[in-house]
Structure 1
Amino acid sequence: MRHLSITFSLLCLVLLFSQKIAAQEMPVQKAEKSRAVKASKAAEELSVSLDKNDEGKIAENYEKLANEFLNKEDNAKAEEYFKRALNSYTKLKQNEDKIRVARSLAKVQESRKKFNSAIENYEVAGSLAKDPSEEKINLNDANRLKNQANPASQTDYVNSNIELLKKEKKSDEVTEAYVQKAQNSLDLKDKSVAIESYKKALVYAKDKPEAVIKIKNEIANVYASDNQFEKAININEKLLAEAVTNRDFSTQIKQLQSIASLYFKKEDPEKAIVSLKEAYRLASEKENSTEAKNTLSALVKYYKSEGNEKESMKLYEQFLQNFDELIQSDTTLISAKTFQVTEGKIRQLEKEKTLKDELITKKNTFNYFLLGSILLLLLLFAFIVKALYAIKTKNKEIALQSLRREMNPHFIFNSLNSVNQFIAENKELEANKYLTSYSNLMRDMMENSNKDFISLDKEVEQLKKYLDLEHLRFQDKFDFEITVDEKLDAESVLVPNMIIQPHLENSIWHGLRYLDTKGLLQLKFQFADAKVVVVIEDNGIGLTKSRELKTSNQKVHESRGLNNTKERIGLLNELYKKNISFVIKEKELPESGTIVEIVFPLIDKI
């Protein structure tokens, strides 16, 4: 007996070791078969998407791979890849996908008894759900797990989910919910409700053969736990018959093993041995080394308990004769090894992706820093430009004020000259009248001295006062007329300040005062083509004759006066963009005199 036990232990070690190295040490004639067996499509697609660094496809293929492991009942791997899928969907901010994967992850974690993690992921899925039913379903599952110590309190959550899932027509999840209800009923020692729940689960799982087989096996286990072995065996035998019809050898082996286990419990070892031998034969024939080992272990255990060393040795010899061929031909081992290679490639690509992401993050950080620096420099440049523009504008305003004030001393000097002349001629009444009018005019001019534009009515009033003063002095030399177009609203229309007055002064002092007869000075404000046209017309001696009579000092003064006006108009155009223009021309013979025309747009606000 001791020799038999040692032999069996060595055999198991050899088998386990061989499973690990078989794929690496295959003969040449088996290599082609190994190359023909490929890893799952999802694993290959995942490798491609990782190589391309396509985050959307990476997430999708992680989820596909996780579902493949779930179907193979490899829940540890399924959990690993569901976590990776969840991380990728979180990066992509795809909430619908995140909800689905978080719920799938929670189910896997629940199956692995990781209840706290499962609760957390159910709550994540519930918090992200926009649909109230979906939110309620996930929170029910979270609360169900929180109350796992009290099976009775879980019933309401399970029943609530069954109704919600039926309304949502999610048949797969209805199946799972009924299975949960069955398990909950077993915890409550209510086997009849458990079987009824399993049967309801079968209705919704009819299109899922693997799920149907699993549920029927669970029903058989319930019957077996209640010592209703015939019912349990009957279920397994029906599943076996269906597997034979469908040529589903893996299910055949599993059902034969289950039947054998039931016969052992029923204390009918002969039938149990028949089922085990058939399972062993089928596993060996179909090159499934794992199931061959499991079945052989069960047979040896029985023969050992019966002291039948002869039969045990016979099985050993048979197993050893076919050992090499079995290991080398086992497609499950080859597929597992091939997947290990693919998974190794996946891990390498994941590392490369992490490095790429880090580089991209650093590059993006640098780019953002560079962009921020450029933006800051642009803002600084804009601030400098704005400051320079403000300084330039202020300088222009100062220059404009300076030019405007430059005109005042000349006017004051001429006015005081006139007063002096009246006094010299003992014309005290005229001098007094002149000073009174002069003081009123000066007050108006001072009030408006800081304004670039004033209303037309104020300008007309100011110019009339000025012409009255000049007329008082040269009353025998000219008369004047001021006319304003009725189309112009004198109170709202704005005109440039102190632009017109110098031209009136020139007409009087350099044209009209040299006449032998009384002349006429006309000031007209006209409206044409949406513009204000100011016309200053006199019938004096004209520009040509005036220049002949002037002294060199007067010529310099007149030139400075014209330049002053041009500069002021230029500054007004730059500051206010009003396109003001003016021209001076001499009347054609036989007429004499000058015409000054100032044109600016209709201005109602500055």
Structure 2
Amino acid sequence: MRLQTIYFIFLVTALLFPLGIMAQDSLPHKSKSMSKISKVSNDLKKSLDVNDEAQIAKNYERLANEFLKKGDNVKAEEYFKKAIASYTKLKLSDDKTRVTRSLAKVQESQKDYESAIKNYEVAGEMSEDKSLEKVNSNDANRLRSASSPVVQESYVNSNIKILKKENKPEEVSAAYVQKAENSLQQKNKEVAIESYNQALAYAKGKPADIIKINNEIAKVYESDNQFDKAIGINEKLLAEAKTKQDFTTQIKQLQSLSTLYFKKEDPNKAIAALKEAFALAMKKGNSAEAKKSLISLTQYYNEKGNNKESQALYDQFLQNFDQLVQSDTTLIDAKTFQVSEDKIRQLEKEKFLKDELITKKNTFNYFLLGSIGLLLLLFLWIVKALFSIKTKNKEIALQSLRREMNPHFIFNSLNSVNQFIAENKEREANKYLTSYSNLMRNTMENSNKDFITLDNELEQLKKYLELEHLRFQDKFDFKISVDPELDSERTMVPNMIMQPHLENAIWHGLRYLDTKGLLQLQVHLTNGKVTIRIEDNGIGLTKSQELKTSNQKTHQSRGMSNTKERISLLNELYKKNITFNICEKTLPETGTIVEIIFPLIDKIE
């Protein structure tokens, strides 16, 4: 009889699942709607097909949670890991933290404590929320303290307090379940039941969790031989399942009741519950639960020597076997998901190849952009270097032009000294040399500056005019005037830009007069611009040109070009828009007017 039982169990197991699954290949899907797992797997396939990383991550997490509800922790762990990889790629730290904690919980439920501890720690380290960081740290320390239930209890209590404060009822419920399990380890069943009841209070809106917790409470009563209380809980759950037409829960509760009745030594009620579970499973196409109920029934009948009843159940099962397999939506969904999972694997491989190709392409693009960037930087450096050299050359040219003193001034000055000495005018010669040396010293001190203050420039020009007046005192007088609105100590003017024109006015205009002439230097402010006006009443440009030797003509031409070149260089270097104009007075007046105009400058950068 024992051999017959074993053979029967083997036959049922062998026939039910492989043949059932194979039968589905030729059967259309007859379920009214796809399971949630099938729906999520289809969503995942779509997101993989379009390579939408954000949706891929969300769908991996959704699929993992669906497997978790189903109780398939191995699959849940697999898809949680994939979700973490996608969230990592997207750099979504909050999502990664949440899923890492979920992964740790799944690993803990599979008693993979080492991996669970590691992931609790990782979730804590990544969390920006101090409370969540503490909760994960407590869970890691709780698992480390597996050998000490008392120590574990302190970490659980700490989490309950934090999670209540953070208003996370689902997490609070799970923590109370942990506390109940901890109390059972300490053989404190009353506290365990109390903790399970607390868990129920926070599990509102979670029917699956409520059923699971109630079943755990029933198990505690069962272990304490309080069968009536355990039966009462199972009967209540059975009644609620019937109201909701939850056939899977009805079957499981009937099976649990049969176990309790057997332990209570009430076989009639136990067999009745098993038969009801078997009939409901057969009717609703739940082959797994039908097999489970059938095995329990045949074992009981075989042990009692009631082969007739056992054979009747076996015949009933075989007669309805094909219909059972065809109507079992769990087998259909399992096969459907197997096909979907194969497609998911294929799409993941394709995605990996796409990502690898994109990475290589991006690497090449970055290399190309980097190379172009380096070449551009090199080009800019060369341009900057050339510009710097060009600017330096302009500065050198400007300095050279600025230092280019009129040889006539130096030679004439020496001739004047020589003349004073020849005429025994030692005092005049000494005075002239002293003024001349002061002028030259100031000129040399400012020779490296492109702009100096108006006050400093006018001081040098005054010394120069005094020297020239000392030589030609019977030929001209001079007058310098400055607009009172100008602050001569702050206003900047181009260095040595006026002296050549004052010299020209004296040497090529005023010194040829029969009467005493007048040289005027005026500086005034008009509409934010400084105007320098040099005016004389000499013989004028035309008459002066007629009197010049060929050498003097060359000198004057160089003097004019010197000024124009310097102004051009100053405009290029400082962008000040300096203008220069020279004209001859119209008859009956004679003489020359020079105007230099530039913006008001009080600082040179």
Which category describes the TM-score, using the shorter chain as reference length? over 0.9
Other-structure match for 2:194: 196
Other-structure match for 2:15: 14
Q: 492, 500, 503: which one pairs with 2:501? A: 503
Measured in 2, the distance between the counterparts of 1:521 and 1:8 equals 132
| Aligned partner letter, 1:388 | L
- The range that moved more, 326-335 or 454-463, is 454-463
| Aligned partner letter, 1:354 | F
Other-structure match for 2:543: 545
- The range that moved more, 571-580 or 426-435, is 426-435
**What SS class does the counterpart of residue 109 from structure 1 fall into?**
helix
Other-structure match for 1:148: 146
Q: 385, 402, 424: which one pairs with 1:404? A: 402
Q: So what's the TM-score if we normalise by structure 1?
A: 0.92
Other-structure match for 2:219: 221
Q: So what's the TM-score if we normalise by structure 2?
A: 0.92
Alignment of 1:63-142 (within 5 A): 63-142=61-140
Deviation (angstroms), 1:395:
0.9
- Check conservation: 1:37, 1:338, Cα contact below 8 A: no
Distance 1:424 1:207, change over 3 A: closer
Deviation string 1:489-526 (CA, Å, 9 cap, x unpaired) is 33333322222121112112211222222222222222
- Check conservation: 1:4, 1:309, Cα contact below 8 A: no
Alignment of 1:335-346 (within 5 A): 335-346=333-344
Measured in 1, the distance between the counterparts of 2:477 and 2:243 equals 130
Measured in 2, the distance between the counterparts of 1:600 and 1:8 equals 111
Other-structure match for 1:55: 53
| Aligned partner letter, 1:33 | K
| Aligned partner letter, 1:195 | I
Deviation (angstroms), 1:18:
0.9
**What SS class does the counterpart of residue 22 from structure 1 fall into?**
helix
- Listed as ranges, the gaps of 5+ residues in structure 1 are none
Deviation (angstroms), 1:355:
2.5
Deviation (angstroms), 1:468:
2.5
Q: 20, 30, 33: which one pairs with 2:30? A: 33
Measured in 1, the distance between the counterparts of 2:486 and 2:167 equals 80
| Aligned partner letter, 1:223 | Y
Deviation string 1:398-430 (CA, Å, 9 cap, x unpaired) is 212222333343421232233344456665554
Other-structure match for 1:284: 282
Distance 1:386 1:269, change over 3 A: same
**What SS class does the counterpart of residue 40 from structure 1 fall into?**
helix
- Check conservation: 2:29, 2:332, Cα contact below 8 A: no
Other-structure match for 1:460: 458
Distance 1:519 1:174, change over 3 A: closer
Other-structure match for 2:525: 527
RMSD (CA atoms): 2.5
Deviation (angstroms), 1:109:
1.6
Measured in 2, the distance between the counterparts of 1:532 and 1:315 equals 119
- Check conservation: 2:101, 2:119, Cα contact below 8 A: yes
Q: Paired residues, what number?
A: 602
| Aligned partner letter, 2:230 | A
List 4+ stretches of structure 1 deviating above 6 A.
none
- Check conservation: 2:584, 2:593, Cα contact below 8 A: yes
Deviation string 1:337-367 (CA, Å, 9 cap, x unpaired) is 1111222222222222222332333333333
**What SS class does the counterpart of residue 524 from structure 1 fall into?**
strand
Measured in 1, the distance between the counterparts of 2:204 and 2:491 equals 90
Deviation string 1:524-578 (CA, Å, 9 cap, x unpaired) is 2223323322222111111112222222332222112111111111112212222
Measured in 2, the distance between the counterparts of 1:131 and 1:595 equals 82
Deviation string 1:583-604 (CA, Å, 9 cap, x unpaired) is 1111111111111122223333
Deviation (angstroms), 1:8:
4.3
Deviation string 1:222-272 (CA, Å, 9 cap, x unpaired) is 222222223323332332233233322212211221122223223333332
Distance 1:401 1:100, change over 3 A: closer
Other-structure match for 1:296: 294
Q: 415, 418, 422: which one pairs with 2:416? A: 418
Deviation (angstroms), 1:391:
0.8
Deviation string 1:71-128 (CA, Å, 9 cap, x unpaired) is 1111111222222223333333333333332332222221111112222222333334
**What SS class does the counterpart of residue 30 from structure 2 fall into?**
helix
Measured in 1, the distance between the counterparts of 2:235 and 2:439 equals 125
Measured in 2, the distance between the counterparts of 1:194 and 1:461 equals 104
Deviation (angstroms), 1:35:
9.3
Other-structure match for 2:563: 565
Other-structure match for 1:380: 378
Distance 1:475 1:167, change over 3 A: closer
| Aligned partner letter, 1:444 | N
Measured in 2, the distance between the counterparts of 1:156 and 1:101 equals 25
**What SS class does the counterpart of residue 521 from structure 2 fall into?**
strand
- Check conservation: 1:253, 1:279, Cα contact below 8 A: yes
Q: 365, 372, 375: which one pairs with 1:367? A: 365
Measured in 1, the distance between the counterparts of 2:395 and 2:204 equals 91
Other-structure match for 2:305: 307
Distance 1:459 1:186, change over 3 A: closer
| Aligned partner letter, 1:350 | E
Other-structure match for 2:354: 356
Distance 1:312 1:603, change over 3 A: same
**What SS class does the counterpart of residue 24 from structure 1 fall into?**
helix
- Check conservation: 1:229, 1:262, Cα contact below 8 A: yes
Distance 1:409 1:198, change over 3 A: same
Percent of paired sites with the same residue? 71
- The range that moved more, 494-503 or 454-463, is 454-463
Measured in 1, the distance between the counterparts of 2:143 and 2:600 equals 82
- Listed as ranges, the gaps of 5+ residues in structure 2 are none
Residue 24 (structure 1) aligned with residue 21 (structure 2): no
Measured in 1, the distance between the counterparts of 2:334 and 2:346 equals 18
Measured in 2, the distance between the counterparts of 1:161 and 1:436 equals 97
- Check conservation: 2:5, 2:299, Cα contact below 8 A: no
- The range that moved more, 263-272 or 538-547, is 263-272
| Aligned partner letter, 1:64 | R
Measured in 2, the distance between the counterparts of 1:454 and 1:199 equals 93
| Aligned partner letter, 1:400 | L
Alignment of 1:461-476 (within 5 A): 461-476=459-474
- The range that moved more, 573-582 or 440-449, is 440-449
Q: 567, 586, 602: which one pairs with 2:584? A: 586
Deviation string 1:113-165 (CA, Å, 9 cap, x unpaired) is 11122222223333344444433333322222221212222222223333333
Deviation (angstroms), 1:36:
6.2
Q: 43, 46, 50: which one pairs with 1:45? A: 43
